Chains A and B, each alone.
Chain A
């Protein structure tokens, strides 16, 4: 059975801190790993990673994939209160992304 595990499950930091969120996976025929930010209800797309070792960056957020060790990290630097959300990691398996397996998410709270 495909499995995606995120850690930590929750995290409380102060504005300006840097955080690292972890995602490990065990899936059959890996296709891609995706990160989403979920505030209220709609998951918002952040990154899609398919190749190992290539960092994707968007502003203060960055992510990298290690296909040998089967994990990914999401880094957020200089955190702001608006970064408070649940961060979801999802993996496409079976050679395709149509059936994503999600982790339970990491609840990030950034205090002023």
Chain B
């Protein structure tokens, strides 16, 4: 596709429920990133993939968060046993190569009730 595509756009989860957020990067982009953006704040880094390899997951807030990119294209961010503090917009970005500009998707707004 022409841009980074994320789904769903909105997700409401009951506390304790597991959720899966999907990211389709721009075709051919090697690098893929996940960021979390709380209301009124700038995005915060979660994790980074180069092709299928997860090279940095230091930003994942807890072991309830898990990300994968098994074939080096589509990525999924999974959150287990969601908590209210997980409510945020989850942004995915991709870049052609490391250190070229990153292009962001529309994000998924997760609300945990």
Contact = CB atoms under 8 A, between A and B. Distances in A.
Interface of A: 4, 31-32, 34, 36, 40-45, 48, 88, 90, 92, 96-105
B105 A42 contact: yes
A97 B91 contact: no
A31 B100 CA distance: 11
Interface stretch (B35-43, B60-68, B74-82): B35-43
Interface of A is mostly: strand
Looking at A4, A99, A101, the one whose CB has the most chain B CB atoms below 10 A away is: A99
B98 A96 contact: yes
A88 B56 contact: no
B25 interface: no
A102 B41 CA distance: 9
B102 A41 contact: no
Contacts of A105: 42
A46 B101 CA distance: 9
Contacts of B58: 99
Given A41-B109, A43-B91, A43-B104, A97 B45 contact: no
B91 to A, nearest CB: 7
Given A41-B89, A98-B33, A103 B42 contact: yes
Contact of B99 (A32, A44, A45, A104): A32
26 contacts: A34-B102, A41-B91, A41-B106, A41-B107, A42-B107, A43-B43, A43-B91, A43-B104, A45-B101, A45-B102, A45-B103, A45-B104, A88-B43, A90-B42, A90-B43, A96-B98, A97-B100, A98-B48, A98-B55, A98-B56, A99-B45, A99-B59, A100-B35, A100-B43, A100-B45, A103-B42
Interface of B: 31, 33, 35, 40-45, 48, 55-56, 58-59, 89, 91, 95, 98-107, 109
Contacts of B107: 41-42
Contacts of A32: 99
Given A104-B40, A105-B42, A97 B99 contact: yes
A41 B91 CA distance: 8
Looking at B44, B91, B99, B100, the one whose CB has the most chain A CB atoms below 10 A away is: B99
